[in-house]
Copies of this chain bind each other. A is one copy, B any other.
């Protein structure tokens, strides 16, 4: 209880706006949070059970189109827990760039191979950037939006900013690594 489990808070945060199934939660995370957070089913379902046990959420089992669903809702206790966590300072941001690790030791494989790592990083970013740009556009033009939109916009803007910085760095790195293509 002392140290806050992050996934608890992510799920409570999502449930604070709408009722969701475990499956929906995964989708929300993969869509809106993917640029700074991730989670697998193997962690989501057990976490939901834990939250249910702690009475942070309630579970409603229904049958829809012949499919069994478990819809979760946040309780008052859950809202309190979420707010408490939101209120305390950030403990730690964690980044682990395997790409950078391979770059750091690049001397051991040479420029050519290192350049390929940079290129593949670049491609990944270029592929994801349009989605982020879209998010920003959608959120900026949603006039009638709820207050919460403002905060979604902030995180999307962060993604755009950082991804563009990545790309700028890629260009410089490729120059230094003697890229002769294009």
Binding site for B on A (CB under 8 A): 6, 9-10, 13, 16, 32-33, 35-38, 79, 82-83, 86-87, 89-109, 113-114, 117, 120-121, 146-148, 150-155, 157-158, 161-162, 164-166, 168-169, 172-173, 176-177
Contacts and interface: CB of A to CB of B under 8 A. Distances in A.
B168 A150 contact: no
- This chain: copies in complex: 2
Contacts of A173: 154, 157-158
Given A154-B103, A162-B162, A164-B165, A90 B86 contact: no
Main secondary structure of the interface of A (DSSP, over half): helix
Nearest to A173: B154
A65 B163 CA distance: 49
Contact of A151 (B103, B146, B172): B103
Given A154-B173, A169-B162, A172-B157, A86 B105 contact: yes
A168 B9 CA distance: 28
Contacts of A87: 109, 113
Given A104-B152, A106-B154, A162-B162, A99 B90 contact: yes
A6 B97 CA distance: 11
